[in-house]
Amino acid sequence: MPPTITATDHPLEKLTADAVVVAVGKGPEGVLPTPGAEAVDRLLGGRLLPALADLGARGAEDEVTRLPSFGQGPFPVVAVAGLGAPDANGAYRPEALRRAAGAASRALAGRRSVVSLLAAVGGAPDADRLHAVGEGSLLGAYEFTAYKSDLRADRPTPPREFTIVAPDATAAENALRRVRAVVDAVALVRDLVNTPPNDLYPAELAARGAAAGEKLGLATEVLDEAALAAGGYGGILAVGGGSARKPRLLRLSYSGPGARKKIALVGKGITFDSGGISIKPAAKMEDMKSDMAGAAAVIATVCLVAQLRLPVEVTATVPIAENLPSGSAYRPADVVTFRNGKKVEITNTDAEGRVVLGDAIARAAEDKPDVLLETSTLTGAQLVALGGRTAGVMGSDSLRDAVVAAGTRSGEGMWPMPLPAELRRGLDSPIADMVNSSADRMGGMLVAGHFLAEFVPEGLPWAHIDIAGPSYNTGSPWGYTPKGGTGVPVRTLLATIEGLLD
């Protein structure tokens, strides 16, 4: 069962829990206390803040200092989470609270119930701070144990019960209902991304996505290889041709009450990417189970929009394939015909994401949406350019910038990228409409964006989010981000959709 989260307006001394969480900032001469830390300090007879100084706490991001209460409060442990330095006005961004809450959850493994005073940072909590604290607390408590066979009953598990202290518990509960829905969507993505590819093959991902949609009353459609052939989906069939486990196309549709916009979502669903004939190096190939993170994100997003009953029409179009080498695999020099009639010369079978996405974008555009949002683990060049935590966003200038702004509001790093006209020439083919991969490696992320643009009808606002790095954390956990699947960019997609409704 997922952890629970509730709000209370009871006085601190009337609450009981296995731990209490407070925050401090990073100052030039030591920690900067917040109202929650000061309240616990008073309850402990003025012992907390001097103890932090003695222990060398700095209030830095991701720093969590745990101290015993020595029976001076209704909780045995105090967890003090660092917020980092405040801004010039002495304030902390909601993302700092989100990360602090997540770091505290990870540090409190073995403690079942937690009372959090983080929402008090900055004064009376508003919806943004409540969302941040709630999301960080629950996302930091995520764990994936489906394949652990030696789970002991006495192992230290993440907290399962969170209580957020707020002056108006009723208002806070309204905010936390949204938090629960968002966290469930992110957890769905993390679970799918973390599932090994022998269990999450194309037909299975399509089935799980359809089941998630049907549970919320969405219209669902799954095309198998025969239907894909009849529909002219040459790109999806080419990429999936090398695997015994054949490709699929999943469509999930939601129509909200009083819908004011029609939005297309597209997400890349390569359940495992060996590179095909243009095979990848063996080192770290196991991470390629995450190549369906974009698909998982749009599946979860359309389900989340339905759960929140937003006044919008959303259809997710999800191409799903496994890219493997075999006698039936597509080859470099093949020419593939896509659903919209474009013909592409294949120069690199490892540039397969854009090949399945071409078909999916063409199909999504047939619905005549107002905007099209696509996300994918598209290029290693994204990691080279922006690192593991920041996604690159390309497309129509205004929608691209709206996505970046939504990422900032959500706490998911996004950066606007251009589509320089001269890079399009790298896709020219002597025998077909274009090649799928430029011989020049420079600007690889942007060249991939140009390829996708070829399938977007003129006049349709669109944005592509390259999440090759941010969707899968290969390093140590940080903030509320675990090792493995992260759930990026579900929160950005939701914030973008809501922004389009304003």
- Give the position of tokens 């063996």: 282
Q: Are 327 and 278 in contact (CB under 8 A)?
A: no
Among 185, 322, 182, smallest CA distance to 241 is for: 322
Q: How far apart are CA 151 and CA 154, in angstroms?
A: 9
Q: How far apart are CA 330 and CA 336, in angstroms?
A: 9
Amino acid, res. 313: E
Q: Which two tokens stand for residue 64?
A: 């969590």
User: Pick the catalytic residue: 354, 363, 400, 424?
Assistant: 354
Q: Are 269 and 236 in contact (CB under 8 A)?
A: no
SS3 sequence of 50-110: HHHHHHCCCCCCCCEEEEECCCCCCCCEEEEEECCCCCCCCCCCHHHHHHHHHHHHHHCCC
478 CB burial (10 A radius; 0-12, 13-18, 19+): middle
User: Pick the catalytic residue: 58, 112, 280, 331?
Assistant: 280
Which helix (H) or strand (E) element contains residue 163? strand 161-165
Amino acid, res. 267: G
Q: Are 270 and 356 in contact (CB under 8 A)?
A: yes
Q: Which two tokens stand for residue 101?
A: 């809450």
Q: How far apart are CA 291 and CA 352, in angstroms?
A: 11
pTM, two decimal places: 0.97
Name 481's bridge partners.
478
Among 495, 500, 472, 494, smallest CA distance to 185 is for: 494
- Structural domains for the chain: 4-167 (3.40.220.10), 186-501 (3.40.630.10)
DSSP 157: P
Residue 45: C-alpha distances to residues 49, 70, 71, 81, 174 (Å): 10, 11, 11, 20, 34
Residue 280: active-site member: yes
DSSP 478: B
3-state SS of the chain: helix, strand, coil percent to 5? 40, 20, 40
Looking at 148-231, list the stretches that DSSP marks H as alpha helix, in order from N- to C-terminal side: 169-194, 202-215, 225-230
Looking at residue 74, its pLDDT comes to 92
Q: Are 192 and 227 in contact (CB under 8 A)?
A: no
Q: Spell out the residues 6+ positions from residue 387 whose beta carbon is closer than 8 angstroms to its own.
A: 469
Task: Print pLDDT tens along the chain (502 aa).
Answer: 889 999 999 999 999 999 999 999 999 989 999 999 999 999 999 999 999 999 999 999 999 999 999 898 899 999 999 999 999 999 999 999 999 999 999 999 999 999 999 999 977 678 899 999 999 999 999 999 999 988 777 788 999 999 999 999 999 999 999 999 999 999 999 999 999 999 999 999 999 999 999 999 999 999 999 999 999 999 999 999 999 999 999 999 999 999 999 999 999 999 999 999 999 999 999 999 999 999 999 999 999 999 999 999 999 999 999 999 999 999 999 999 999 999 999 999 999 999 999 999 999 999 999 999 999 999 999 999 999 999 999 999 999 999 999 999 999 999 999 999 999 999 999 999 999 999 888 999 999 999 999 999 999 999 999 999 999 999 999 999 999 999 999 999 999 999 999 8
